[in-house]
Amino acid sequence: MITFKDINLQVGARLQMMLHHGSKQLIYYTELIGYSDGEYLIIKTPFENGLSVQLKVDEPVILRILSGVDVFTLTCRIKTIFRAPHHYMHLSFPTDIKSIALRGAVRAKVNLPVQINGVAGAGVITDISVTGAAITADKALGELNAEALISFEFPIKPTSQSARIDTSATIRSIQELPSKNKNSLPKFSHGISFHELELTNQVMLLNLVYESMNRL
């Protein structure tokens, strides 16, 4: 059984916060201010379009946290809301904690144009996880085990604001794909592994993966 201490959660940690308003699921990003072990968590109230998100006492909340090589999911309820000028809240101490290992991470099918080594439209990301991606391109993007600079964008729900990730990566595999017909040229599939992503980018990318899989 996973305990709160297993998470090794640090003050200032970036959190993904999920709410359900009717049949609609909302996702925000916030930050841990502190906690009293066994009693409550203290987190910042998330903002949207410059305004604090409207929340209710006793509303259920799901937090998703990256720690080490694991993703932890915590189930809580809002206990107290502190409004302007401080904008923070107390959540019930989590009793239901689950984890997913990122090693061999969950992947999802996507269709994201990608910029590689400064070249826009160099390929398309067709499969992605928080540790790497599959890229299809008209030509090989480099030698096996070569490094490349990768840039791509995707929308963040529920605001649909654009998130951009710029990272270095290593080409782990290259495979020539058969032509779909005799008049078309073959394409190339690449497996890449991301170098260390910033925590905020990992959380946003994890959200993209789960949204793409309709698992959130």
Residue 69 clears pLDDT 80, i.e. is over it: no
CA distances from 132 to 3, 99, 178, 180, 204 (A): 29, 20, 23, 26, 14
Q: Are strands 70-82 and 96-101 parallel, antiparallel or unpaired?
A: antiparallel
Q: Is residue 60 very low, low, confident or very high in pLDDT (cuts 50, 70, 90)? A: very high
pLDDT, tens digit, for every residue of 43-54?
999 998 888 998
* Residues 108, 127 contacting (CB under 8 angstroms): yes
d(CA 205, CA 16): 11
pTM for the complete prediction?
0.63
Q: In sequence order, what are the residues at sequence separation of 6 or more whose Cβ sits closer than 8 angstroms to the Cβ of residue 21?
A: none
pLDDT, tens digit, for every residue of 15-56?
889 888 777 778 888 999 999 999 999 999 999 888 899 899
> 């904008």: which residue's tokens?
87
Q: In sequence order, what are the residues at sequence separation of 6 or more whose Cβ sits closer than 8 angstroms to the Cβ of residue 209?
A: 105, 106, 107, 108, 128, 129, 130
**Domains (range + CATH), the chain:** 4-101 (2.30.110.10), 108-212 (2.40.10.220)
pLDDT, tens digit, for every residue of 124-157?
999 998 889 999 999 999 999 999 999 999 987 6
